[in-house]
């Protein structure tokens, strides 16, 4: 399945929608470089400095802006281009904070932009300062061209997305909703399915996100001196539990959105892949299981049909000569939008099957969880038109994204929200949340052209 299905790259590669001169490209690139050079890593954030850079650009262009601080160094920047008010506003959402970075794991300094081989390296280059730079450039171009708008276009460069948005979007929704009140939004997410020759065949749109949940498992054992080690070792018991989790596979399920996704990519598959998808939709359970096992070979396709669980943090002991009485691990879980979190926890307990391993939930999804976008609205139509103009041979397909983002909070508020551009990838190709995060200059310019085309189609006077 991994070789037969189209390879998944979560990045946008699109032909230019309109000509853009070299000066505009240099300006966009400068915005990204300047933002990357401002360290905004969690947990400190320091988004205020990045927001100041953005508002200096906005001020030069005479674009209205306001800064909202949940704390001294945790700023959210809002800018508005006013329209006629005929239709509900469009929100362009990005976030200024990043995850941390260990310089020893990078080939370049993580908090200083480095240009190399046509790429811009640096923490945030893909997640999500490229989108912040793009949104800024979109507002500037609309203003410079004097585009008449039938709806307000609002830019929000938020804080704290990487830690859940308590000082960012969620804080803005609770305290300043009237200043970002919108009916539609474009956020990070989405991507492109390429064929074996690297040609774009499917534009992937984030129409739903998985539920985020963290589970802590704690193994109990006998504490003691390492020279006279007790037989009941908590670390070994934890290792046994983690081995069971490693081999545990959740049941495959085809949700309505998952079915639409596989139906959408079906025409671009080879014979073997089409057969696998046909088997995935079979009414016979054994046939579905065979197909699901093949799909599981590709992490992205597997994420469309399953809840996932993976160990991310280990904790045990503090002294080299002491056997600890407890050892714990964090299991990060991503559940399909219609999953039952309580049932999932019970299944984890059954998989571990050890009464000396305690299972507790440390972050639970808020229910009811937002339903997937129906993809029959005005904004989706604009995305279809812009993508079709840029990529006439590619189809537009919605699906579920595993990485959590702020779209969940907007959807809870009733805002029609799609993930369409950035981060460039969630895998090794761009180093998102890993070492050597980067984005190609070509991709940056192409993403901008596509986002601008969607915004112009959706917001400009007809």
If phi over 0 gives left and psi between -120 and 50 gives alpha, with beta otherwise, what is residue 192?
Answer: beta
**pLDDT, tens only, 246-287:** 999 999 999 999 999 999 989 888 899 999 999 999 999 999
What confidence category does residue 365 fall into, taking pLDDT thresholds of 50, 70 and 90? Answer: very high
Residue partners of 130: CB distance under 8 A and separation at least 6: 32, 124, 422, 423, 424, 439, 444, 447
Given a cut of 60, is residue 367 above it in pLDDT?
Answer: yes
Residue partners of 409: CB distance under 8 A and separation at least 6: 165, 169, 170, 173
If phi over 0 gives left and psi between -120 and 50 gives alpha, with beta otherwise, what is residue 436?
Answer: left
Maximal CA-CA distance, the chain: 80
Q: Is the distance from CB of 448 to CB of 33 less than 8 angstroms? A: no
pLDDT at 421: 67
**pLDDT, tens only, 369-402:** 999 999 999 999 999 999 888 777 778 899 999 8
What confidence category does residue 91 fall into, taking pLDDT thresholds of 50, 70 and 90? Answer: very high
Listed range (13-27, 81-95, 287-301) with the worst mean pLDDT: 13-27
What confidence category does residue 100 fall into, taking pLDDT thresholds of 50, 70 and 90? Answer: very high
* Alpha carbon distances (Å) from 360 to 328, 345, 355, 383: 11, 8, 13, 42
Helix (H) or strand (E) holding 224: strand 224-225
What pTM, to 2 d.p., does this model score? 0.89
Strand locations in 273-388 (E): 308-316, 322-323, 326-335, 357-363
Alpha helices in 353-430 (DSSP H): 378-390, 407-412
pLDDT, the chain, mean: 90
Structure tokens at 417: 């929200």
**pLDDT, tens only, 172-186:** 999 999 999 999 999
Report the distance separating Cα 420 and Cα 244, nearest Å: 37
Given a cut of 90, is residue 19 above it in pLDDT?
Answer: no
Given a cut of 70, is residue 16 above it in pLDDT?
Answer: no
Topology, domain 7-208+372-459: Aminopeptidase (3.40.630)
Residue partners of 291: CB distance under 8 A and separation at least 6: 276, 277, 279, 280, 282
Q: Where in the chain is the domain with CATH 3.40.630.10?
A: 7-208+372-459
Q: Is the distance from CB of 417 to CB of 373 less than 8 angstroms? A: yes
Listed range (51-60, 230-239, 321-330, 396-405) with the worst mean pLDDT: 396-405
Report the distance separating Cα 440 and Cα 205, nearest Å: 20
Helix (H) or strand (E) holding 442: helix 441-459
pLDDT at 423: 38
pLDDT above 70: percentage of residues in the chain: 92
**pLDDT, tens only, 401-458:** 988 899 999 999 999 999 986 433 334 467 888 999 999 898 889 889 889 999 999 9
Q: Residue 202: how many CA atoms within 13 Å on its side-chain side?
A: 26
**pLDDT, tens only, 138-178:** 999 999 999 999 999 999 999 999 999 999 999 999 999 99
Given a cut of 50, is residue 12 above it in pLDDT?
Answer: no
pLDDT at 194: 64
Q: Where in the chain is the domain with CATH 3.30.70.360?
A: 211-250+307-335+338-369
pLDDT at 21: 59
pLDDT at 252: 94
Topology, domain 211-250+307-335+338-369: Alpha-Beta Plaits (3.30.70)
What confidence category does residue 24 fall into, taking pLDDT thresholds of 50, 70 and 90? Answer: confident
**pLDDT, tens only, 46-73:** 999 999 999 999 999 999 999 999 998 9
């Amino acid at each position: 399945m991994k070789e037969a299905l189209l390879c998944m790259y979560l990045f946008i590669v699109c032909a230019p929608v309109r000509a853009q001169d070299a000066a505009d490209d240099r300006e966009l690139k400068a915005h990204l470089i300047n933002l990357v050079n401002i360290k905004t890593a969690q947990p400190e954030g320091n988004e205020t400095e990045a927001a100041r850079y953005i508002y200096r650009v906005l001020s030069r262009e005479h674009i209205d802006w306001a800064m909202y601080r949940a704390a001294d160094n945790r700023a959210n920047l809002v800018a508005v281009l006013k329209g006629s008010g005929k239709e509900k506003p469009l929100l362009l959402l990005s976030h200024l904070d990043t995850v941390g970075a260990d310089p020893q794991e990078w080939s370049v300094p993580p908090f200083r932009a480095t240009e190399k081989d046509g790429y811009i390296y640096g923490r945030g280059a893909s997640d999500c300062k490229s989108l912040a730079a793009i949104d800024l450039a979109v507002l500037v171009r609309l203003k410079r061209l004097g585009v008449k708008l039938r709806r307000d276009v609002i830019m929000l460069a938020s804080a704290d997305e990487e830690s859940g948005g308590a000082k960012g979007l969620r804080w803005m929704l609770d305290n300043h909703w009237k200043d970002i009140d919108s009916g539609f939004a474009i956020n990070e997410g989405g991507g492109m399915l390429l064929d074996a020759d690297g040609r774009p065949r499917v534009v992937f749109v984030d129409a739903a996100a998985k539920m985020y949940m963290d589970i802590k498992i704690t193994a109990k054992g006998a504490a003691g001196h390492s020279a006279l080690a007790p037989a009941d070792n908590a670390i070994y018991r934890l290792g046994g539990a983690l081995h069971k989790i490693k081999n545990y596979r959740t049941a495959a399920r085809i949700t309505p959105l998952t079915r639409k996704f596989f139906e959408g990519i079906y025409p671009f598959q080879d014979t073997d892949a089409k057969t696998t998808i046909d088997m995935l939709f079979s009414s016979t359970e054994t046939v579905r299981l065979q197909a699901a096992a093949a799909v599981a070979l590709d992490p992205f396709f597997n994420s469309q049909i399953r809840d996932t669980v993976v160990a991310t943090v280990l904790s045990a002991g503090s002294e080299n000569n002491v056997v600890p009485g407890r050892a714990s691990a964090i299991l990060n879980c991503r559940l399909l939008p219609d999953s039952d979190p309580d049932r999932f926890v019970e299944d984890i307990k059954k998989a571990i099957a050890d009464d000396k391993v305690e299972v507790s939930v440390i972050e639970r999804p808020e229910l009811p969880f937002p339903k997937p976008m129906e993809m029959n609205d005005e904004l989706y139509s604009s995305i279809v038109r812009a993508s079709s103009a840029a990529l006439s041979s590619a189809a537009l397909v919605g699906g579920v994204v595993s990485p959590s983002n702020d779209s969940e909070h907007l959807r809870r508020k009733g805002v029609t929200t799609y993930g369409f551009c950035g981060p460039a990838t969630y895998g090794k190709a761009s180093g998102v949340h890993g070492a050597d995060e980067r984005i190609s200059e070509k991709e940056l310019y192409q993403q901008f052209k596509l986002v601008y085309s969607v915004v112009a189609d959706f917001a400009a006077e007809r």
